[in-house]
Structure 1
C-alpha cells in the first residue's frame, strides 16, 4: 500500500477549513498543510496570539478566530461569525488535566473534547458543504460512557478515565452523526481519525507527574507531522467513506501512515450512542436539524 503523505493532498483552492486547536500541535501541522494545498484555513483557537503566529507562517489564506470550547457562549459566538465551511476539523482537546469544570459546569475533558465540539458541529452543520472530521484517540478503547455521571460528580475522579471517556464520546459522536446524516439523505460525511502515539504538547499539559512520564515516552513517538496525517487524510481524500475511522497503519495503531482502522466494540454501541446524543443535546442546548 502506498504511503499517503501531505504531499498527496489534492488541490484545495476555493475551499474553507475550520480547524479547532490550530495554534499548536497536530492542529497547527494540519492547518499548515491545508494552507500549503491552497485552502482558506480558519484557525479556531483559544490562544489567538499563538494562532496568529501559525497563521503568519501560512500566509494570506489563513485567519484566526477565537473560540473556547470550554465555554458554550464562546462556541455560539464563534459559530455565528462563520458564513460557510467546507470541512470542519474537530481537532482541539485537553488531556488528563486535574479535576476542574468548564464555564458551564461540565467536567473539563467531557465538556471540552466532546460537548464543545458537539455544540460547534451542530451550530455550523447547516453551513458545512463537505464533511466533519472528529479526532479521537487510541485511548478510546479504555473509555466507558457513564451517562448517570458524565461529569464525575458522584464517582472518584481519575484523569485517565475522564480523558478516555471523552475520546470514546468523540468517536461515538462521529459514527452517530454519520448515521443521522445518512438517514436524512445528506451527502455530508462524518469521518473520525486518531494520530496514534504522536509527539505533541498536549501530553505535557497534564499538570502532573504523568505528564513527565509521557514526556519521556516521546522517545518512542512519531513526529507531529506524521501524527497529523490521519486527520488530513480524513479531511481531504475525496473518496473517503463517511463513518470511516482513520489512523496509523503500524503495529497496534501507534505509528505509521494513515489507513482505515477498526475501533472498540463499545464505540459501535448504537443504543449508547443515541443516549449520548440525546444527553449532549440536553446539556448543550444545541439541537441538530438535518433538514427534510
Structure 2
C-alpha cells in the first residue's frame, strides 16, 4: 500500500500557505493539511471559490487574494501574510496556468512563465525569512519538453508555441526548486526546497487552454486522469513527510508517472544544470525586483 493522506503527520500548531487553493490540486492540498491540524492560508485569485473551500475547513482556513500574474498583488499578499503570521512552516507553490494563448501579465511577462515561475519566485523571496520547514514547488512531467531561452524568456521574438511555453515554465519551476535547495544548503539553513508533480490529474487546468481540443479534454480527462485528491499526493508528501528530502522531486509511482502513489522521481538533465539555474535565478531576481536572503 502506497503513501496516502492517512500518512500525513499531525500538523497541529503549524501554518501552511497554498497557492491556487480555490480548486483542483490546490484545494485538495489545503483540505488535507487543514484536516491534519494545520492553519492553512488559501492564496487564491478567485477569492469567492476559495471561501467555498475554506467553508468546509472551519477556523483553520484563511482566504487571501493572490494574483500571481501581478507582482503588485504578490507583494500585497506577502505583506498581509507577514503581518498576520510570525512563522510559515510550509509554502506550497501550486497555482498555475497551462497552454493558454499568448497574453501578458500585469508586468508584461508571457502569461505562463509569469504566473508559474516569476510569481512564485517573487512570493518565495518575500516570505522565505518566515519559512521554518520547507518550500514545495509544483512542476510537471511536461518540463521535459521545456527549453529556457534566457534571451527571449517572454516570447517577444520567437513564434509563440503554447505547449513549449508551458514546458519552459515547468522547467523553470524545477530549476528554481533545485537552485533554492543548493543556496539554502550553502547558507547552512534547515529549510528544505522540494519539487513535485501530480501526473495526469483531472482538474480544471486542462479545460482552460482555450484551444480547439479543450472540449475533448474536458470530456475525456475525468475518465483518463486520476482524481485531484490522488494527484495532490506527491505535493502533500513533499510538504509533510518527515523523510522527504530537500532537493528531491516527487511524482506518482505508476506507469510513466501518470498516476499512483508518491515516490522520488527523476527529472531531465536540463533541469539539473546548475549554471542554467544560476542564470535563470539572476534574471528572475532582476525582472521581479526581489532578492533572496540566501546567496
User: What is the TM-score when the length of structure 1 is the normalising length?
Assistant: 0.98
Tell me if 1:100 matches 2:103.
Answer: yes
Name the counterpart of 2:7. Answer: 8
Map residues 150-229 of structure 1 onto 2, 5 A cutoff: 150-218=153-221, 219-229=223-233
Q: Distance in 2 between matches of 1:53 and 1:215?
A: 23
User: What is the TM-score when the length of structure 2 is the normalising length?
Assistant: 0.97
Corresponding pairs, count: 290
Q: Distance in 1 between matches of 2:273 and 2:215?
A: 35
Superposition deviation, residue 215 in structure 1: 2.5
Q: Distance in 1 between matches of 2:47 and 2:55?
A: 12
Select 2:247's aligned residue among 243, 246, 250: 243
Superposition deviation, residue 9 in structure 1: 0.4
CA RMSD of aligned residues (A): 0.9
Select 2:266's aligned residue among 262, 265, 275: 262
Q: Distance in 1 between matches of 2:194 and 2:280?
A: 18
Structure 1 unaligned runs (5+)? none
Q: Distance in 2 between matches of 1:161 and 1:270?
A: 21
Map residues 21-60 of structure 1 onto 2, 5 A cutoff: 21-60=20-59
- Deviating beyond 6 angstroms after TM superposition, the runs of 4 or more aligned structure 1 residues are none
Q: Distance in 2 between matches of 1:217 and 1:249?
A: 22
Superposition deviation, residue 81 in structure 1: 1.3
Superposition deviation, residue 52 in structure 1: 0.3
Superposition deviation, residue 213 in structure 1: 3.3
Name the counterpart of 1:66. Answer: 65
Secondary structure of 2:201's aligned partner: coil
Superposition deviation, residue 280 in structure 1: 0.3
Map residues 107-122 of structure 1 onto 2, 5 A cutoff: 107-122=110-125
Q: Distance in 1 between matches of 2:7 and 2:190?
A: 24
Superposition deviation, residue 8 in structure 1: 0.7
Q: Distance in 1 between matches of 2:287 and 2:217?
A: 32
Tell me if 1:271 matches 2:275.
Answer: yes
Q: Distance in 1 between matches of 2:109 and 2:204?
A: 24
Q: Distance in 1 between matches of 2:228 and 2:177?
A: 23
Secondary structure of 1:64's aligned partner: strand
